[in-house]
Structure formats: structure tokens, C-alpha cells
Amino acid sequence: MLSYGPACGVPVVFAQSVIRPRDAKQPERKKGGHTIPCCRPPGPLPSSPFEYMAPKNPKGGRSAIIIGASSGIGEALAKRMARAGYRVALVARREAELQRVAEAINRKDRKLATIYPHDVTKFEEAPKLFQQIVHDLGGFDTIVYCSGVMPPVAKNEYSFQKDQQVFAVNVLGAMAWLNEAATRCERQESGTIVALGSVAGDRGRKGQPVYCASKAALASYMEGLRKRLGHRGVRVVTIKPGPVSTPMTEGLKMPFMISADEAANQIFRALNRTRTTAYVPIIWWPIMTAIRCVPSWLFRGKDI
């Protein structure tokens, strides 16, 4: 039988009873001379459990925080979410580029985008800035971590300086922001936490071993958050794009490459479904499923 938990309004299942806030009016029915609470709540039943998972935003509407919104997938996703009516907080290092994106989003009659210049490698700044953004938005529904770097690496190059930069941006920056989001989402028992991984994180590649390792680490981190927060009404979604035409991939020729706008459209559709991991485009799902099954001794001999 469908009922409602007292904390967040998410439908839950009980066998014979229902827990309600003390001040809530409970419908009653007669059985065997005794009055007992009715297990069905008043009013229409929800069409989907996710109908009740959006946090109550006192300013109304939906809102999203997008880290890495100054270019590429982050920029395209910010524009796509704004077209859907989201108010978006744009976070990135380059203030001029953020301003350009915000000007493309905002209308004369309605301001949907606000910019927050920030370097994701300055981890100590994330908690305070996160709280400021949440206050300015009046809450938030979704946070998306899009920041990422993939510096060029020569065939026989082993640069710890580059490796450190990759992990600082791709992994530690994500943890600094998404830990803050996880704390709030767990408390409010709602919200969606999203990170952009990569198909490169599914297996190690000789061309970019550290980039692959960073995306594998991010995917494992997101899986851990999902196991920790899933039962609290919080969605944790890992997006695994294949090659996307962005400044990071400029000059590279890769299979099944799509535009940043198309990637944003597919990511947005994935966020409106119940997926926990989404390959973008979907063709990479069967490809990577097969590649993950290749034994290590055989994979070592492949020129990838």
C-alpha cells in the first residue's frame, strides 16, 4: 500500500499502518467496531515517486548549479536547462566567458543566470561559495559537475605536474563541491547530483592513462554516493560521454563525435529519467560493455 513518510513526502510502502505528522488529518474507516487509520492518503495518488522528490524552493521554480559552465558541455547544458525554465548558477574560472554565457541566457524580462567566478582547484573556497549560491537561489534541485581537463601527453611523457592538475580538477574539485551538495541533499531528502565522467574511465588507455584513471575514480566516487544517498530520496547520476566537440578535444579525430549541444540535449533527457548511469550518445553503452569484458591480457595488445 502506498503512503507518505513524515519527513520528505516520498511515497513509501507499509503493510498495515501509515506514519504521518502529528498535526496531519488522517482519514478513518470502520472495521470490527474499531476505528483505524486508512492506509491510503487523501487526495490523488502520485503518478511517479519522483513527483515528490524536488526540494521546496521558496523562490519557486527549478534551479541548478553548474560547475564548469564557461564552455563546452557545461555551457550547452546551462543554456538547455535555462530554456526549460531552470534558474542556473554558473560557476567557472573565466569570468569573461561566464558573463558571455549569462548574457546569452538572460532575457530582458527575466534573469535566469547568475555567475560565480571560481577556480575548482581552490578547494577551501567551495563550502562557502556553495552556501552562498544556495542562499541566492533559495535552494537547489540539481547540481552538475562539468569541469574537466585533459592536457596533451606525448607518447613517452610521464609528467606528475600534469597528472596532479588532472586529478585536482577532475576528481578533487568534484569531491569538494559534491560533498557539500550531498550533505544538503541528505538532510532535505531530495535533489539530484550529477557528474560528467567519460567512456575513457571504463578502461585504462595508453594515450591518456591519468585522464582515464581520473574518470574511473570519479565514477567510483559517484557510485559510493549513490549507495549512500539513494535510500534518502536523492538521485546520483553519472554521465559518461564519448568524444564531444569542445575546446578540450579541438583538433582530435575520434569516432562517434557529437556536438556539445547534442550532448547537452541527451544529458538533459537522461536527467528526466530514472537512469543512474547514462552513456552519451547511447551507442557507447554496447561498445563499452564489450570492451569491459575483454580480458586484461588481451586488452594489453590492442592499440587503444
Three-state DSSP state, 296: helix
Q: Both ends of the chain: CA-CA distance in Å?
A: 52
Tell me whether strands 192-196 and 11-13 are parallel, antiparallel or unpaired. Answer: unpaired
Sign of the CA dihedral 102, 59, 73, 269? negative
Reading the block at residue 139, the C-alpha cell is 535552494
Question: How far is the C-alpha of 295 from the C-alpha of 262, rounded, in Å?
Answer: 33
Report whether 221 contacts 201 (CB < 8 A): no
Task: Record the pTM.
Answer: 0.78
Residue 245's DSSP bridge partners are 259
- Please report the pLDDT score of residue 261 as a whole number: 95
Domains of the chain: 1-52 (no CATH), 57-299 (3.40.50.720)
- Please report the pLDDT score of residue 304 as a whole number: 67
Residues 6+ apart with CB under 8 A from 263: 73, 76, 241, 244, 280
Question: How would you write the pLDDT of the chain (304 residues) with one tens digit per residue?
Answer: 444 444 444 444 433 334 444 444 544 444 454 444 443 344 444 333 333 333 445 455 799 999 999 999 999 999 999 999 999 999 999 999 999 999 999 988 889 999 999 999 999 999 999 999 999 999 999 999 999 999 999 989 999 999 999 999 999 999 999 999 999 999 999 999 999 999 999 999 898 999 999 999 999 999 999 999 999 999 999 999 999 988 777 666 777 889 999 999 999 999 988 889 999 999 999 999 999 999 988 888 777 6
- Please report the pLDDT score of residue 59 as a whole number: 54
Question: How far is the C-alpha of 296 from the C-alpha of 150, rounded, in Å?
Answer: 24
Residue entry with cell 547534442: 262
- The residues carrying an active-site annotation are 211
b/e map of 245-266 (b: 16 or more CB within 10 Å)?
A: bbeeeeeeeeeebbebbebbbb
Question: How far is the C-alpha of 231 from the C-alpha of 235, rounded, in Å?
Answer: 9
